[in-house]
Amino acid sequence: MCGIVGYVGTRRVVPILLEGLRRLEYRGYDSAGLVYYFEGKLERYRAKGKLANLETVVDDYIGTASSTGIGHTRWATHGAPTELNAHPHTDCSGELVVVHNGIIENYHSLRTELTAKGHIFASETDTEVLAHLIEDCLDGDLVAAVREALARVDGSYAIGVLWAKEPEMLVAARNHSPLVMGVGENACYIASDIPALLPYTRDVIFLDDMEMAVLKKGEYEILQVEDGTALEKPISTIDWNAGMAEKAGFKHFMLKEIFEQPQAILNTVSGRIVPETGIVELPEVGLDDQAIKKIERIALVACGTSWHAALVAKYWIEKWVGIPVEVDIASEFRYRHLLVDDRVLTISISQSGETADTLAGIRRAGAKGSRILTICNVVGSTMTREADGIIYTHAGPEIGVASTKAFTSQLAALFLLTLYLGQVRETMDAAIRKEYGSALISMCGLIEEELPRLQGEIRTLIEKYYDARDFLFVGRGVNFPIALEGALKLKEISYIHAEGYAAGELKHGPIALIDKDMPVLALVPKDDVYQKTVSNVEEIKARQGRLVLIGTAGDEHLSSLTEDVLYLPEVLPDLNPLLYTIPAQLLSYEIANRRGCDVDQPRNLAKSVTVE
Ligand code: F6R
């Protein structure tokens, strides 16, 4: 939420800031702004709406010989998305500017105090308080003033600060909002996320909470915010490249990422399972065999799409490992009465590794003695630095706001984990483990083969459905969470009201919604609950619901129920969630695209929800 980028070096800064913001726009896109230092002054440009509007405003300044600046793309928390509320914000003199991601919780009292002292505020944002507070503390030493100001602030922040009197210095700090520093030749960078840095450097330093950085041309210092102590931090080299965060000829990032799923799943499983023996190797879980044998319960914690992956994993782990699994939405987990201790393994699932509620959840569980394992896509993210063990999904950068490849690679990681726990606790027969392990690996090729055909069929199919007002998704067992995921995908990118239900729940209320205008997508693979789901489908048909069925190739009964059937190859039933997700994603994508929606940047949303 909100993207920050900053640069101090020798190159022209405006193109670097714009490119960085373009790569961070998925974090928020209701306004954007930048500031650069030029001829003794800070020049600021801001625009409401997408980054393209800012680009128009700064077009004439691209070639300006300035090499220090900061930029921001906003997802509004305090104050409407207007130009006045767009970052950067300045102090009274206009000589000090701040960009910020996070929420200053005590901004109201600070604003009252600063107003009484004569500070004049120009926006409704919490961020502007920071600019005036730093101004108030400033007595010739910017670093000291930032530290003093931050000591008075409650809440979360990642900030970048420039002062006209120190033209070659950029001060950055973080607390509970992500911030990464890039180290280049004669240049230093800051960014909210790695993709902004990839065209320039892959050498990065992850700042931790209550740390700040003082960046100059090719030199930097990292300090504790609290007492100014200098810190030595390791430089990590990122193995993503700049091209991975480009559309590569696809119309949208979401479509590209849907098509990247075979590779993403392969990256997740590669080197972690020996196909000939079915032996799973996951030393990164950070638990030895004794510790794994002692686990009495597992708590899975996540938000949104990642929570749906957790719901699928509950079916797998309980079936194959026999450990009771609780699944929580992180925003509930973090505040409810938690019965968690050292006998419980808490597993967070997160694409970004920065989701505020999930982070707070694992911190609470950790404080109660639980071991923390995280399943995460972003190397070096906050969650991975705080967990005791990490299973990286290695899906590559996910830029589309609607999560796709992150989800299926989370499923692959969770299935691997299930096999691993079953192996260590000896709850899963070795031959079955081998069969499932090989089947998991072959999912990559299978999905790759099915994708083009499915896309073609779905493009035709959606002509009947793209203007629907509502949509229901139903499934049973391990596919029930896929119904939830399908509904979430559709509503977030097409704005069609959609709900997912366990097929058996329909009779307990939702069936009242069904009439000749209600499309219902049902997941009906040939599994052990097939007959039950078919009965539910018949009930929908009897009430004239418009049926779209996704089922197993060769199941002709489905074609007798509706003409709109998508067939998928038969796989081991436990692996159906990986396969059945694909048409649900494509259906949502094609409907949203047909409706002319902004697929990669749906309204009101942002990727990486770093505020609660
Ligand atoms: C939906 C979506 C979100 C995220 C959720 C958690 O398409 O992307 O629901 O899944 O915000 O994000 P992470 O996985 O980064 O913790």
- pLDDT tens-digit map of 351-394: 999 999 999 999 999 999 999 999 999 888 899 999 999 999 99
CATH 3.40.50.10490 in the chain is located at 255-443, 449-594
Nearest CA to ligand 1 atom 6: 303
67 and 45 Cβ atoms separated by less than 8 Å: no
What does the pLDDT look like over 98-157, one tens digit per residue? Answer: 999 998 999 999 999 999 999 999 999 999 999 999 999 999 999 999 999 999 999 999
Average pLDDT, the chain: 95
Q: Which CATH architecture has domain 255-443?
A: 3-Layer(aba) Sandwich (3.40)
What percent of the chain shows pLDDT beyond 70?
A: 100
From 242-246, 537-541, 582-586, the region with the lowest mean pLDDT: 242-246
Q: Which fold has domain 3-246?
A: Glutamine Phosphoribosylpyrophosphate, subunit 1, domain 1 (3.60.20)
| pLDDT confidence band for 503 (50 / 70 / 90) | very high
Report how far residue 386's alpha carbon sits from residue 390's, in angstroms, rounded to the nearest whole number. Answer: 10
Which atom of ligand 1 approaches the CA of 303 most closely? 6
The CATH number of the structural domain formed by 449-594 is 3.40.50.10490
Is 352 touching ligand 1 by the criterion CB < 6 Å? yes
At 524 the pLDDT is 98
Residue 3 φ then ψ, to 5°? -120, 135
At 63 the pLDDT is 84
At 79 the pLDDT is 85
At 388 the pLDDT is 97
Query: What is the pLDDT averaged over residues 200-215?
Result: 96
Q: What is the Å distance from ligand 1's center to 136 Cα?
A: 39
Query: What is the pLDDT averaged over residues 161-189?
Result: 95
Report how far residue 17's alpha carbon sits from residue 11's, in angstroms, rounded to the nearest whole number. Answer: 11
Q: What is the Å distance from ligand 1's center to 353 Cα?
A: 10
Query: What is the value of pTM for the model shown?
Result: 0.87
Tally of CB atoms within 10 A around 324? 14
Is 358 touching ligand 1 by the criterion CB < 6 Å? yes
Measured over the CA atoms of residue 251, residue 257, residue 260 and residue 261, the dihedral's sign is negative
Does residue 26 or residue 296 have the better pLDDT? 296
From 75, 257, 303, 485, mutation site for ligand 1 pocket: most ligand atoms within 8 A of C-beta: 303
* 258 Cβ contact partners less than 8 Å away, ≥ 6 residues apart: 404, 405, 451, 582, 585, 586, 589
Is 361 touching ligand 1 by the criterion CB < 6 Å? no
Query: What is the pLDDT averaged over residues 404-408?
Result: 98
Nearest CA to ligand 1 atom 3: 304
From 188-202, 238-252, 466-480, the region with the lowest mean pLDDT: 238-252
Q: Which two tokens stand for residue 3?
A: 């993207």
34 and 13 Cβ atoms separated by less than 8 Å: no
* 211-216 vs 68-74, strand pairing mode: unpaired
Nearest CA to ligand 1 atom 8: 403
432 and 319 Cβ atoms separated by less than 8 Å: no
Is 351 touching ligand 1 by the criterion CB < 6 Å? yes
Q: What is the Å distance from ligand 1's center to 449 Cα?
A: 27
CATH 3.60.20.10 in the chain is located at 3-246
Task: Give first-to-last CA distance, the chain, whole Å.
Answer: 11
Is 588 touching ligand 1 by the criterion CB < 6 Å? no
